[in-house]
């Protein structure tokens, strides 16, 4: 009974802290602009292909297989975590054992996956610590970011140790005829350890260790780069479905162009007293909620930056940094906007204070970053929207582009020739005849 009370209190505390974090994030999402979600069946197919089958992660076969096995293992182990919560609330053991053979398959798989994940996490930590992986470096990857990764990986490591310890001492402390479920790896360890009088106590110790680590991890994740554990699957579901090379048009500009081409539509359009919205993206309140969701989902794996042609040629642009800066800026200004209203300003912005104009204009919009991202983050759309702000609000385009814009306005073409002189070059062809 005491165990149930303590467990319920800890569960409520965990849910309370997580709910606070969730409400905080929702308040930030309310600051952003809409993003339409359509074609739900196609999204489910994409989610299955990219998120669950992990097709994009296999572009790097060895490390991709390891990551995929960790993901699939977590999906299986999650069922065991649900059972632990039911057991803790109801004061019973192995509450899902009524599932019979399916229970045996799930828990045998979970036991094997726990061991594999344990090995892979050790390899991941060693890889970060001792191998100079270029895509794990960059100006945006501070000591805090590296520490964040080590903390998350260490907690996952302890989760697997506690799970295997719990299963092992469950086997050693239970009559073989009464054991529920199959535990191939833990049974092997149990055979090496033998049975002891303290095994029941050790089982309870590892049980509590495992569930407490789950509670702590669940509330650390939203503040960590490993928030993708929760968000990667829904982020793939919410992916842009248009071809990568297609950039979304600005609705306000599209309306103006249509009115210019067909003035009659101007009289059909409903009048609006609302002030014109800002063109493009200057700060976090100008991005769509999907842009912000992308920034929260970013795994900081660096695959986007590692294939960026601008970054590879020494320019400052790093698609990963763009996503990290958006998240950091929202963490800075978001609470102040929620408290003081959307009109509040701290005289800073996403552009220039976080992302320089040099970075924005270095992008070639080749979409290599979006193609490579394992969770379908689309960086170029955000970068282009920031360019739109610079051009349309501040006329701050590079000199070459400003000259082209002037020529288009004056001559109807990007070249510095009037329309009347455009065919003069052909006169030489006729004079030679």
Give domain limits for the chain: 2-237, 279-397
Q: What is the DSSP letter of 55?
A: T
**Torsion, Cα of 227, 232, 237, 240 (10° steps):** 90
Residues of the chain with pLDDT under 70: 264-276, 430-433
Q: What is the pLDDT of residue 276?
A: 57
DSSP assignment letter at 48: I
* Structure token pair of residue 65: 């297989």
- Residue 347 token pair: 């005289």
Question: Which pLDDT does position 412 carry in this prediction?
Answer: 80
Alpha-carbon distances of 413 from 410, 416, 419, rounded to whole Å: 8, 8, 8
Residue 384's pLDDT is 94
On the 0-12 / 13-18 / 19+ scale of CB atoms within 10 A, 208 is middle
Angle at 335 between CA 331 and CA 336, to 5 degrees: 115
284 φ/ψ angles, rounded to the nearest 5 degrees: -65, -25
pLDDT of residue 431: 59
pLDDT for residue 272: 53
CATH fold of 279-397 = Fumarate Reductase Iron-sulfur Protein; Chain B, domain 2 (1.10.1060)
pLDDT for 10 equals 94
- For 48-80, letters b (16+ CB in 10 Å) and e give eebbeebebbeeeeebbebbbbbbbbbebbebb
Q: How far, in Å, CA of 222 to CA of 231, rounded?
A: 10
The per-residue pLDDT for 433 is 53
């Amino acid at each position: 009974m005491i165990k149930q009370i303590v467990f319920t209190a800890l569960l409520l505390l965990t849910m309370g802290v997580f709910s606070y974090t969730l409400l905080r994030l929702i308040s930030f999402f309310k600051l952003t602009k809409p993003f339409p979600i359509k074609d739900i069946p196609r999204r489910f197919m994409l989610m299955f292909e990219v998120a669950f089958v992990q097709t994009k992660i296999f572009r790097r076969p060895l490390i991709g297989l390891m990551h995929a096995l960790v993901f699939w293992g977590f999906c299986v182990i999650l069922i065991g975590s649900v059972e632990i919560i039911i057991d803790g609330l109801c004061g019973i053991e192995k509450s899902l054992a009524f599932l019979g053979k399916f229970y045996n398959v799930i828990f045998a798989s979970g036991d094997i996956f726990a061991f594999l994940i344990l090995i892979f996490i050790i390899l991941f930590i060693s890889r970060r610590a001792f191998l100079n992986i270029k895509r794990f470096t960059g100006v945006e990857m501070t000591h805090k970011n590296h520490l964040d990764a080590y903390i998350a990986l260490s907690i996952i490591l302890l989760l697997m140790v506690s799970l295997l310890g719990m299963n092992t001492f469950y086997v050693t402390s239970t009559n073989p005829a009464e054991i529920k479920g199959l535990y191939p790896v833990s049974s092997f360890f149990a055979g090496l350890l033998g049975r002891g009088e303290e095994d029941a106590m050790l089982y309870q110790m590892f049980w509590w260790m495992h569930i407490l680590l789950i509670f702590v991890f669940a509330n650390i994740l939203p503040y960590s780069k490993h928030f993708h554990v929760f968000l990667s699957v829904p982020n793939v579901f919410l992916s842009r479905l248009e071809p990568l090379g297609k950039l979304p048009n600005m609705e306000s500009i599209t309306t103006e162009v249509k009115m210019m081409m067909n003035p009659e539509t101007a009289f059909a359009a409903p009048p609006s007293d609302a002030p014109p919205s800002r063109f493009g993206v200057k700060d976090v309140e100008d991005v769509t909620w999907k842009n912000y969701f992308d920034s929260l989902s970013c795994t900081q794996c660096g695959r986007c930056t590692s294939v960026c042609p601008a970054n590879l040629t020494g320019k400052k642009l790093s698609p990963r940094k763009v996503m990290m800066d958006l998240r950091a800026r929202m963490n800075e200004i978001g609470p102040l906007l929620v408290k003081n209203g959307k009109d509040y300003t701290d005289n800073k912005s996403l552009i220039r204070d976080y992302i320089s104009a040099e970075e924005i204009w270095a992008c070639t919009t080749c979409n290599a970053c979006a193609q490579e991202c394992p969770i379908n983050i689309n960086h170029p759309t955000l970068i282009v929207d920031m360019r739109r702000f610079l051009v349309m609000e501040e006329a701050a385009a590079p000199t070459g582009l400003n000259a082209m814009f002037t020529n288009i306005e004056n001559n109807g073409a990007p070249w510095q020739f009037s329309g009347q002189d455009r065919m003069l070059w052909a006169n030489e062809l006729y004079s030679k005849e």
